[in-house]
Amino acid sequence: MSRINSLSWPTPVEELTLANKIAIWIIPVVFGITVHEVAHGWVANQFGDSTARIAGRLTLNPIKHMDPVGTVVVPLLLLFFSGFVLGWAKPVPVDARRLRNPHRDMAIVALAGPVSNLLMAVLWALVVKLALFYHSGLGGAAVLLIYMGVAGVFINTILCVLNLLPLPPLDGGRVLTSLLPQRWASVVGRIEPFGLVIILILLLTGVLGKILYPTLNFVGLSLNVLIGVSPDFFFSTLAVLLGAG
């Protein structure tokens, strides 16, 4: 596989304004969380639960999935104060009682979200590759696409790994409770009201970072294989995106 000379693309600016960041992050973030929720509902529909379809949630229209706080306020505040972007959408309704095999199917429905983020990370990586390959013809648009592609790889990787943590109400917690005997599933389920607080504590104590950073290092190496750019290229571009605006 031929390697792209990532150093030949137009030199990125050293700092992006807040407006630049919003323009770059908005599509990867909104569709990262939208497709995640649609994936849950679509798989549930395949296994017999049409709740999400009847509610009109099997659509890529972001407005149908937007949570005013999780999709708008939190990402903007994080972007403004830290350069880091994360958010969530309204959970797609799933009625486990309608699934053909509730325990097995609920685990698969839960996994559908993180898997969709993994696939989107790959698609955004291909956007980076195409923008690098055709940057001489695309001009300034290539720089925008490269930044947006790196942002897409980053946010979807974070959403995938974060949601796989075995903590309710995250998807990993749903998988865990689906696989455990009913008695133990009930015990784990009691954690759900405190899940967001636990995640916040993990973030503030640096534990969450220790989980996510090795994953991002792996992503950098994977991009070298997948699209032929060096890990340094990925992290330097990401550093501009996450720098204080």
Chain-centroid distance, C-alpha 121: 8
DSSP assignment letter at 34: H
What is the percent of the chain where pLDDT is above 70?
Answer: 89
CA atoms of 203 and 223, how far apart (whole Å): 26
Whose tokens are 């330097």? That residue is 236
In the prediction, which pLDDT does 82 show?
A: 59
Q: What is the mean pLDDT of residues 90-107?
A: 92
Cα–Cα distance measured from residue 58 to residue 27, given in angstroms and rounded to the nearest whole number: 19
Q: Is 7 inside a domain boundary?
A: no
pLDDT one-digit tens code per residue, 6-63: 444 444 555 677 788 888 988 998 899 999 999 999 999 999 999 999 999 999 998 8
Q: Is 39 in contact with 115 (CB distance < 8 Å)?
A: yes
Sign of CA dihedral 42, 71, 222, 175: negative
* Number of domains, the chain: 1
Average pLDDT for residues 197-219, to the nearest whole number? 86
pLDDT at 7: 43
Please report the DSSP string for 44-100 in residue order.
HHHTT--HHHHTT-SS--GGGT--IIIIIIHHHHHHHHTS------PPPP--GGGSS
Phi/psi for 167 (5° steps) reads -135, 115
> Is residue 232 one of the residues assigned to a domain?
yes
Does residue 8 form part of some domain? no
> Is position 6 within any domain?
no
Among 111, 107, 113, 109, CA closest to 88: 113
Note whether residue 2 is domain-resident: no
User: Residue 22 and residue 80: Cα distance in Å, rounded?
Assistant: 9
pLDDT reported for residue 141: 83
At 230 the three-state DSSP class reads: coil
- Which pLDDT value is given to residue 94? 94
Q: Is 192 a catalytic residue?
A: no
Phi then psi for residue 168, to 5 deg, are -60, 140
Measure the CA–CA gap between 238 and 217, rounded to whole angstroms. Answer: 12
Cα dihedral 108, 109, 111, 117, rounded to 10, equals 140
Of the candidates 14, 15, 37, 192, the residue annotated as catalytic is 37
Confidence class for position 85, pLDDT limits 50, 70, 90: low
What does the mean pLDDT of the chain come to?
A: 85
On the question of a cis peptide bond just before residue 93, with omega within 30 degrees of 0, the verdict is no
Decide if 165 is inside a domain: yes
Q: What are 10-25's pLDDT values in tens digits?
A: 445 556 777 888 889 8
Asked which of 56-60, 95-99, 115-119, 187-191 is least confident by mean pLDDT, the reply is 187-191
**Residue range(s) defining the domain that contains residue 219:** 13-242
Task: Please tell me the predicted confidence (pLDDT) of residue 19.
Answer: 81
Distance CA 170, CA 167 (A): 6
Q: Which residue has the higher pLDDT, 240 or 87?
A: 240
In single-letter form, the type of residue at position 122 comes to V
Region 165-184: what's the mean pLDDT?
Answer: 90
Determine, yes or no, domain membership for 137: yes
Q: Which helix (H) or strand (E) holds 245?
A: none
Packing angle of the helix pair 140-163, 18-46 (nearest 10 deg): 50
